[in-house]
Structure 1
Amino acid sequence: MIKKQTITSNKGIYFPLMNQKGLKGYLTPFFAGHLALDHDHYVLEPTSERDLYKPSSRNVMFYIDGKRYDLNGQLEYQQNKPFTYETGYAYQKVTRQEDCVEIETTSFLVSETNTERHLIKVTNTGDHAIQFKAISAVELYGRSAENQRDHRHVTSLLNVTHIDHQMLTMTPTLHFDETGHHINQLSYGVAFEMQGHKNIGASPTLDRFIGEGSRMFPLGLDDLVLQGTYIGYETIASFHTETIAIKPNTSVTLSLAIGVAEDMHSLKDMLKRALDVETFLVELEASEALYAPYVNQLSFDLISDEVSQRLKFVSLQPLFRRIMGNSYLPHHDYGKGGRGWRDLWQDLIALNMYYDPNVYDMLYQYFKGVRLDGSNATIIGDQPGAFKADRNAITRVWSDHGAWPLITLLMYIHETGDVAFLLRKQSYFKDHLYGYGSIKKDQKPGFTQYEGTILEHILVQHVVALNHLGAHGYVKLMDADWNDGLDMGHQHGETIAFTMMYVNNVLEIIHLIQAIDQDQFELLSPLKDLIFKTIDLQTYFHSDVQDVEWVNKEALISALQSIYDTHMKHLQEAFVEDIFQSYFDHKATLLDIDHTVMLTGQAMALLNRIASREQAVKLANKTKKVLFDAALGGYKLNSLYDHEKHGLGRAFYFAYGHKENGAVFSHMAMMYAYGLYNYQLNDLANEAWTSILYQSMKDDAQVYEGIPEYFNDEGKGKYLYLTGSASWLLFILRKQVFGLNFEFGQLFLEPKLVSSDFIEGKASIHTMIFGQKTTIHYHLETPTNHYHIKSIFANKKELQLPITTHYSEIDVYLGV
């Protein structure tokens, strides 16, 4: 998957980098961007959005017949020159023409070592020989992101830097942390060399490099050493090559490498290998190969070749978030790594579609994050089963968290038919929080000795939530729901929207229980009592009983059906003036009472089949009228609320049209699109998701690849790559658009393709079915949105639905 374009200005685009060993960061066409192992171990200085427009931490100064040109193109006479930018899955290539010289730089992360490699090819395209010299300028950071403003100078006093001809290493003596210092275990390094030539020296420290000039225009370039050790200064790798002559139509190659390792010997070996030009292509191909399976196992041919190519990168976005969490990219300048609870389960939606063999174990381990009170750990570490109570050790409960695991679990069970997974036993997470944060316990984070079935975990989450109600009978908002910005309505806020998800999930749980071939189930005794309403929620929270009882299957189904029926009836009261209300606010009043609309309530009503057909049509028409803006990418998250509503959360204090206050928010818009398909409103659904995709593809949107978290009031994409909306777009395409509907291991085909989805009468999906690669081609006889399946063929024989056997290729013929 190669993408190539001409860049004429800095539009803030960037390309994510990651490998198998934990190194991650990003790179821009101007070589800005940081590199890190984790929050406490940044190789290059941490950056954020504004740093996309500042001089980069990676640079090489080229002197051609005495005139300077920079790798990053930031000199005044370079900035207006167009250049070629190319990317694959794992690399970027920048090709600049500077007068009589072409400079081509290919960059990537090595998959098997924590090394960033750059191969720079300088070609004399003129008609006379030139004098050429290069000077690297890569500033090592080598410490925690906390130290960017906290003890920045003090931590530089820990640096021990060694220079040896073409290699620089830096090892801080201590990992500085006032809550508890400890000995540093990592070494950082840079290597730089022109092939076939030796370096003549290097600037030993950043101070001496700058030499009373500036970082951009240093005055210390004559202050060089070949070898030496320097302690207590900021470190820059500024190697000088010798000056050589380059004849016309000939090239020289330079290698630049940045790395980090746990011991000096490994670091030097990595950097030495990275200077070997012969290994560059081999390691580049290995890095590219890591990404290819994710695209090969889930890709689409529809609408146009350009759209099909764009969707290939969308297939990679869940992988990026799985590795990076919600940190390490310039817009994602918060948190300390790790993913949130909601992110965890939605990323697994994509892994399910890839038929990743690790999904089974991940699902099992992730349920270990559920507390017995129905809440959960909110931050997940790098390994399955590694949980933290919260990102910043703040006591918070998100009211929607208990609803998400079931959506992913349902997908797994229906794809595989593995109903037995529900009866596996798993422990629960425990820490100092309990009773949805109302009870404080004196215990450290860990796991209970008691183990309940996965079915029990699911029941705990839903039964507790649907008993944890506000004054109006809807789930209490607590510290926020999906919309993290609604974080000030703790006392009176209620989330009608996510009450809908919990209620529909109860119906799905009933269907799962019906599919289990046994007549009774083990349940924790207090949970059984809560389900059958013989105790209230506070009694459940304060119960220490961990006895189990066997519960009759039909009795359990009947009790759950009663819960569903009661709340489903009550939810109909939330349909007011052709929309569903989404929230009771901080003043215990309905949010949308003045002709305003919140997309969340409409999306949840359709996604969870709460609305009747008549209600769905009415709310779809009104929602489009109030919230849809084609010029900005589609459906805004909400109307502009007056000052009285601001107290519901920080979101409404944001400028309108940004983030959770009225931006075109891809995640909720995708869930809304999914819900529209549920009601056969296919044209509206198609418009909802394609609007986001087409907006992403506009040059002015500044979204280089994939889809962003949201578009602002200027239609520019923000928070790129790491967004749950990518998983939902893939989910929409596979299940709704191409109609792959699994029911307990059997495949039904129910396509909702519209005529514009076809390319010359054909639309195809390449995906994993029954654990093996399958391509399904849909053929449309004549352009129409009203068709049915006329016939299905595979291996020259006609098939009937459901499909229960793997075929490598299936052709489906559609007609009127």
Structure 2
Amino acid sequence: MFVNNMKGVRLDGSNATIILDGEGKFQADRNKISRVWMDHGVWPLFTLNLYINQTGDLSILDEEVSYWKDAQIERAKRIDLNWNKKEGNCQKTKDGECYSGTIMEHLILENVICSLNIGEHGNINLEDGDWNDQLDMASDKGETIPFTAFYGSNLCNIAELLEMQMKKEGRKAVSLFEEMEMLLLGLKEEGTENGQEILEKYYKQIRSGISGRKKEMPIQQLIDMLRWKGQSLLQQIRKNEWIELSDQEGFFNGYYNNDGNAVDGILHDGKLRFGLTAQTFSIMSGAATEEQVQKIIRAVDHYLPDKHTGGIRLTLPLGDNTWNFGRGFALIYGEKENGGMFSHMTTMYAYALYSRGYVRAGYQILKSIYELSTNTRSAQIYPGVPEYISSRGRGMYSYVTGAGSWIIFLMLTQVYGVRGKLGNLWIEPKLVREQFTSSNVLVTETSFMGKDLSISFYNRESLDYGEYQLGEICINDEVWDEQINGMHVELQWSEMEKKLISNKKIKSVLNL
């Protein structure tokens, strides 16, 4: 499925937004409105990293797929009047052949193009919206700090994948279609052209298609360039978008509006404004330093809780809607993205905290989501995670939410800490004392490498996170204590397979 979905990427780094039934079938947009959500390029790599860690399969990066072609070009800023629907949606070379490139090539293309699409304040342009598709009225001067952080992190992660290929496979070069060489000029520390100039030249060069010829790029050079560019974006945020409230509290500005003004901060009316999105992705990406994370936690806990429900709001009131940022702020404050407890982002914020080791803070956020979602009297829904909790405490849109999958992802990979690491099984629990109140054992069940797992965590001394270490691990009644390293254990899957009984559930017991 993942491989086929990469066929939706265009040469300009955007993609067809609707996945249809059947392999590699897409629709450019839902409402026949030409627009680009600038965040779409970050998610494929995030998903692929999960797959590679779960399976250890690096070969997926070398699988070749086509690119999507339709009338939209230059990130929906122009229309290709020469394209005919009868030609189909496969991007062709100038010779009329359907072009295919590797998954790695697709990932580099969509992340590098966005990293060059920089606004006047040094952040990636918002275009027609990011994760928050209500931010659809700042396509000229809008910039997004949260997804500048995400793309910066992605470039560093692509560099790590290339490094793995180089070390594990002896890879010396990366094959890219030759027109991409122009884009790589924007990744050079000594480069003289800005990103917009490079993109303009690139778009002009591919307007009538690509040659189909490929160029071998030295892999170490590409690793260094991607890592430099990624770190530069993270440093830009760390240095220029941080707002210090006091020696205890601070936060990152989230956006610039269509007037080119910062959306967050203490503005001319004297009111404080900031939102959760920039804090989430600045923490998750590593843009935020440890000191900044601690100040963000205090600021979020101080200013963002709804005084009626206790839920963490997505944003503080952003003032009068002057139509220079997004239609969402014409909504009543406390509804949807305009100040509701938006479950998807709140869950991702909890994930970010857990992933950086701020377990107690993450647990409090997770607990608040659970309590709001299961308070049937106030939420007026069956127990479950809705899209958002309104300021009245009502759970809204149980069928329109990205939070459900993120809750499972958070609980399994961070709270229970069961996840893959390049095909090995990594266990690093981040459980707190309160989660053992009804019993001294917690059990999670999942599957890994085609095997069913049942993992039990025993906390007989009622210890809190930070007080315990992994004491002993038993797998199907056999002790494996030699593999434990303090707070985590990495189980070599090749060793486990030799001892496992076919078709039998793997039962693991960890004593804390």
Higher Cα radius of gyration: 1
- Report the counterpart of residue 478 of structure 1 in structure 2: 127
Amino acid at match of 1:689: L
- Report the counterpart of residue 154 of structure 1 in structure 2: none
Q: Is 1:377 matched up with 2:13?
A: no
Deviation (angstroms), 1:447? 1.3
- Report the counterpart of residue 467 of structure 1 in structure 2: 116
Q: Is 1:568 matched up with 2:256?
A: no
Deviation (angstroms), 1:495? 0.5
Amino acid at match of 2:105: E
- Report the counterpart of residue 418 of structure 1 in structure 2: 57
Deviation (angstroms), 1:795? 2.2
- Report the counterpart of residue 25 of structure 2 in structure 1: 386
Q: Match for 1:779 among 435, 447, 458?
A: 458
Note the 1:509-528 alignment, pairs <5 A. 509-516=158-165, 517=169, 518-528=171-181
Q: Match for 1:540 among 199, 202, 225?
A: 202
Equivalents in 1 of 2:415, 2:326: separation in Å?
35
SS for the counterpart of 1:629 is coil
Equivalents in 2 of 1:681, 1:634: separation in Å?
19
Equivalents in 2 of 1:695, 1:721: separation in Å?
17
Equivalents in 2 of 1:508, 1:811: separation in Å?
33
Deviation (angstroms), 1:567? 1.4
Equivalents in 2 of 1:724, 1:630: separation in Å?
25
Q: Is 1:428 matched up with 2:67?
A: yes
Equivalents in 2 of 1:603, 1:423: separation in Å?
32
Equivalents in 2 of 1:389, 1:470: separation in Å?
26
Equivalents in 2 of 1:612, 1:698: separation in Å?
36
Q: Is 1:488 matched up with 2:160?
A: no
Asked whether the 8 Å contact 1:740–1:750 carries over to 2, the reply is yes
Amino acid at match of 1:506: L
Asked whether the 8 Å contact 2:309–2:393 carries over to 1, the reply is yes
Structure 2: gaps spanning 5 or more residues? 92-97, 245-249, 267-271, 484-488, 501-505
- Report the counterpart of residue 661 of structure 1 in structure 2: 338
Deviation (angstroms), 1:617? 0.3
Amino acid at match of 1:542: K
- Report the counterpart of residue 424 of structure 2 in structure 1: 746
CA RMSD of aligned residues (A): 1.5
Note the 1:66-465 alignment, pairs <5 A. 362-442=1-81, 443=83, 444=85, 446-448=89-91, 449-465=98-114
Equivalents in 2 of 1:432, 1:650: separation in Å?
27
Equivalents in 2 of 1:646, 1:623: separation in Å?
27
Amino acid at match of 2:277: T
SS for the counterpart of 1:635 is coil
Equivalents in 2 of 1:399, 1:420: separation in Å?
28
Q: Match for 1:596 among 267, 270, 273?
A: 273
Deviation (angstroms), 1:645? 5.9
Structure 1: gaps spanning 5 or more residues? 1-361
Greater Cα offset, 487-496 or 702-711? 702-711
Whose RCO is larger (CA < 8 A, sep 6+)? 2
- Report the counterpart of residue 581 of structure 1 in structure 2: 253
Q: Match for 1:795 among 472, 476, 481?
A: 476
Equivalents in 2 of 1:625, 1:384: separation in Å?
48
Equivalents in 1 of 2:370, 2:33: separation in Å?
36
Asked whether the 8 Å contact 2:376–2:383 carries over to 1, the reply is no
Deviation (angstroms), 1:794? 0.8
Equivalents in 2 of 1:676, 1:645: separation in Å?
34
Note the 1:643-654 alignment, pairs <5 A. 643=320, 647-654=324-331
Equivalents in 1 of 2:36, 2:410: separation in Å?
29
Deviation (angstroms), 1:630? 7.4
Q: Match for 2:393 among 702, 715, 720?
A: 715
Equivalents in 2 of 1:704, 1:463: separation in Å?
43
Deviation (angstroms), 1:382? 2.6
TM-score, scaled to structure 2: 0.86
Residue identity (%): 34
Deviation (angstroms), 1:476? 0.6
- Report the counterpart of residue 508 of structure 2 in structure 1: 810
SS for the counterpart of 1:550 is strand
Asked whether the 8 Å contact 1:645–1:652 carries over to 2, the reply is no
- Report the counterpart of residue 638 of structure 1 in structure 2: 315
Asked whether the 8 Å contact 1:591–1:645 carries over to 2, the reply is no
Asked whether the 8 Å contact 1:734–1:740 carries over to 2, the reply is yes
TM-score, scaled to structure 1: 0.54
Deviation (angstroms), 1:690? 2.1
Deviation (angstroms), 1:631? 4.9
Q: Match for 1:730 among 399, 405, 408?
A: 408
Equivalents in 2 of 1:410, 1:750: separation in Å?
18
Deviation (angstroms), 1:519? 1.3
Equivalents in 2 of 1:374, 1:635: separation in Å?
34
Asked whether the 8 Å contact 2:156–2:231 carries over to 1, the reply is no
Equivalents in 1 of 2:469, 2:307: separation in Å?
31
